[in-house]
Amino acid sequence: MDIELFQFRFSHYNEKARWALDYKGIPHRRTDLLPGPHRGFIKKLTGQTATPVLRIGASFVAGSSRIIERLEREFPDSPPLLPADPDLRDQALELERHFDLVFGPAARVLVFDATLAHRNYVPLMFAQSKPRLTRFAYRAIFPLTRGLIAKANGLTAHDALFHAQRHVTDNMASLERLARRGAYLVNDAFSVADLTAAALMAPLIDPPHPDMHFPTPKPQPLVELHEAWRAHPAGQWALGIYAKHRTRISSP
């Protein structure tokens, strides 16, 4: 089966989809897109502009949660991410929805707040796999693209940073409490809840996995952001989840 992931190189929702594909051992290839210029291409494929988008044969699935749902159906013999018990499954899916809707957007605001002012760094994050000429061109147009990125990710509201910091702080405290009960968030096995929490935390903790390890040298605000959340108990938990369960790597 021909499977292709259209992705942003540094995006926690895209990392969530990559992790699911790798955890299940599903061969696939990856196509890196550039934030801003990606919009027309993705809209033509799916009628919307968000990534990740997974192509399975001739069909397209948009969104990390829908991608995981599709993978669970299409590859029933692969390691499951949803518990078999209906009650536990509901718990895992509810945690996934919460992290997707509340934590993920807030984490993204904090990271872009720490990086968007650095005109050379964000192009490096997203275009490092592209040919030299493409990297140069994207860096040249980035001052124009920066405004689109800020607007699309909710950074333009005057209180966006305040609310993002509050959501991240509150949710990291909640994750710390949940993690104290055991190694995993639902029952005693790795599930979509753990994968989602750790993947969406990745931009805050800079895990060593090559798919989400930030290029260096990092802007000082990003260094400070990573140091703070890596030291948090929830950050330590997520790094442990990465070490245990983010080991399969599919070549882009």
pLDDT value for 250: 52
List of E strands, the chain: 3-8, 29-33, 53-56, 59-62
Domain boundaries, the chain: 3-74, 86-245
CA gap 239, 7 in Å, rounded = 23
Residue 164, both tokens: 């993002």
Q: Average pLDDT of 143-148?
A: 82
pLDDT of 252 higher than 60: no
Q: Check pLDDT > 90 for residue 225.
A: yes
CATH code of the domain made up of 3-74: 3.40.30.10
The enclosing H or E element of 223 equals helix 220-230
pLDDT in tens, 78-128: 999 999 999 999 999 999 999 999 999 999 999 999 999 898 999 999 998
What distance, in Å, lies between the first and last C-alpha atoms of the chain?
A: 16
Mean pLDDT of the chain: 94
Q: Is pLDDT above 70 for 178? A: yes
Tell me the residue type at 147. Answer: G
The number of beta carbons lying within 10 Å of the beta carbon of residue 187 is 15
pLDDT tier at 151, thresholds 50, 70, 90: confident
Bigger pLDDT: 185 vs 247: 185
Q: CATH code for 86-245? A: 1.20.1050
CA atoms within 13 A on the CB side of 51: 26
Q: Do the Cβ atoms of 91 and 186 come closer than 8 Å?
A: yes
**231 pLDDT more than 70:** yes
Q: Are 85 and 30 in contact (CB under 8 A)?
A: no
Bridge partners (DSSP) listed for residue 62: 53
- Report d(CA 137, CA 51) in Å as an integer: 22
Identify whether the C-beta of residue 28 lies closer than 8 Å to the C-beta of residue 21.
yes
Peptide bond before residue 105 is cis, with ω within 30 degrees of 0:
no
Distance CA 155, CA 51 (A): 18
| Entry pTM | 0.94
Task: Using the predicted structure, report yes or no on whether residue 181 has a pLDDT greater than 70.
Answer: yes
